[in-house]
Amino acid sequence: MSEKLNQLKEILGEVSDINHAASVLGWDQQVNMPRGGAEARGQHLATLGKIAHQKATSDEVGKLLADLKQEFAGSDSDDAALVRVAARDFDKATRLPSEFVAEQAVVTTASFEAWAEAKKKSDFSIFLPHLEKVMGLMHKYVSYFPPADHPYDILLDDYEPGMKTIEVKDIFNKVRPQQVKLIKAIRESKQVKADFLHKKYAEKKVWDFSEVIISKFGYDFSRGRQDKAAHPFETSFSVNDVRITNRYKAENPLETLFSGMHEAGHAMYEQGVNPLYDRTPLANGVSSAVHESQSRMWENLVGRSLPFWEYFFPELKKMFPSQLDGLSAKTFYKAVNKVEPSLIRVEADEATYNLHIMLRLELEIGMLDGSIALKDLPEIWNSKMREYVGITPPDDAHGVLQDIHWSWALFGYFPTYALGNLVSAQLWERINKDIRGLDDQIRKGQFDSLLNWLREKVHVYGRKHDPQDLIQKVTGSKIDSAPYVRYLTKKYNDIYGL
């Protein structure tokens, strides 16, 4: 290994350490920190962010990368990939002044606290001044980059490298009418029974059962943990410390099981990255859509499948005999896949979920280009919900304030949720060609073959390959909506007898 590569790895390792220390503080902010600590925590994160940014964008790093790009030109080795990804990160980071990075940490920390209060009180006006500051940051952020075909391209590229706004719109335009057609057919069919899902279920029992499920999946609790937070998420500090959070809602208690599966899907991805990549830019998932494909696969294609519940339902029934008395695994399977317009994105069924994302994409583009005034967001949100999903939120908490992302300045992230759905189905078709009898394995509670396939084909590579290249390498094509439409149609034909 060249001396210059060693020098680069040492610096990038220190940057990684600082960023992960900041991530620990971010995790603590949502899990343990008292509300009074918000201002100080913002300063902690701002300081760490500024130090990491200065170190990552130093002249020394720039010189090392320039030399190493020549040294590794034409190579497809791990070290060549590290240099390529680090150079891409460096180019983006050097466009941002350290003062901007520190300002963003302060603004978003206060914004998150305001969002949490606004959601609790269902009062958008509490969050509005903070959202205005966040959007000011987004406009400033875009200004640091060369003009793109659309300013939203710059934000999208942070989460889905190489993807363009026009490409996302094209994909969504293809899948939307097919999903609308499917939803219309379902609405005209007899609805499935699901009232028993909303009975009282003891919180601790539900929580414990969620941990039984994700342990069976392969989430390694010796390298992770599950804690409570207002919004479920996964965070990684190293390949050996990957944590998830979850929540319990009395009005929808069993949702804890599915959010646990979802976050465990993210976490198992991070736990499966090549450990040699730790403390380097390669040590994460390659993109948000690929990451989301993992969480949605475990939550939906596995966790909402009939074979899955043929295995787990008898145990769930033993734990909750009165709530599930007289029910079969097939009845329960249909219930957890019930298609019904939902106010809350994270609780939406598979048939309507993408419509929630399409709504948010329109709003984010409008907020960025100025065609939507921030003060009008609650009204526009409600109008779009009526148009897209057919229902109107009763208040801000169930409408414009339901998601945490804007408080964190995560603009450009939402489209990757729907893209992840599409990728999950693409991968699933390939998996079922490679693993014969997968349904029978799931029916027996055996998930090793599935996880090992994902480890070998997706997880181990971290950020080594570009996302579209990885998807094509594994499935034979770039992101394609057809497998997802086939999956939805087949599944709901069975459930609703279409």
Return the pLDDT at 1.
Answer: 62
Same domain, 112 and 205: no
193-200 — which CB contacts under 8 Å span 24+ positions? Answer: 193/331, 193/334, 193/335, 194/334, 194/335, 194/336, 194/338, 196/323, 196/324, 196/327, 196/335, 197/252, 197/254, 197/335, 197/336, 198/251, 198/252, 198/253, 199/253, 199/323, 200/250, 200/253, 200/323
Among 146, 174, 203, residue at a domain's last position:
146
Annotated catalytic residue within 167, 263, 310, 364: 263
- Give the helix/strand (H/E) hosting 14: helix 3-31
Regions of the chain with pLDDT less than 50: none
- Give the helix/strand (H/E) hosting 139: helix 124-143
Beta partners for residue 236, in sequence order? 242
Same domain, 303 and 371: yes
Residue 154 lies in a domain: no
Q: Six-digit token pair at 437?
A: 């009898």
Show the CA angle centred on residue 231, arms to residues 407 and 122, nearest 5°. 65
What CATH number is associated with residue 442? 1.10.1370.30
Domain that holds residue 363: 165-496
47: closest CA among 58, 37, 55?
55
Same domain, 119 and 204: no
Each residue's pLDDT tens digit, 436-456: 999 999 999 999 999 999 999
Residue 156 lies in a domain: no
Same domain, 133 and 185: no
Return the pLDDT at 231.
Answer: 84
Same domain, 139 and 206: no
Each residue's pLDDT tens digit, 84-138: 999 999 999 999 888 998 899 899 989 999 999 999 999 999 999 999 999 999 9
Longest dimension (CA), the chain: 70
464: closest CA among 42, 58, 82?
82
Same domain, 11 and 67: yes
pTM of the model: 0.91
| Positive or negative torsion for Cα 196, 199, 200, 204 | positive
Q: How many structural domains compose the chain?
A: 2
Same domain, 62 and 207: no
Same domain, 381 and 473: yes
Same domain, 172 and 32: no
Does 251 participate in catalysis according to the annotation? no
Same domain, 231 and 342: yes
Q: How far apart, in whole angstroms, are the C-alpha atoms of residue 364 and residue 361?
A: 5
Same domain, 246 and 313: yes
Among 146, 176, 191, residue at a domain's last position:
146
Residue 152 lies in a domain: no
396: closest CA among 112, 122, 121, 115?
122
Q: How far apart, in whole angstroms, are the C-alpha atoms of residue 283 and residue 16?
A: 10
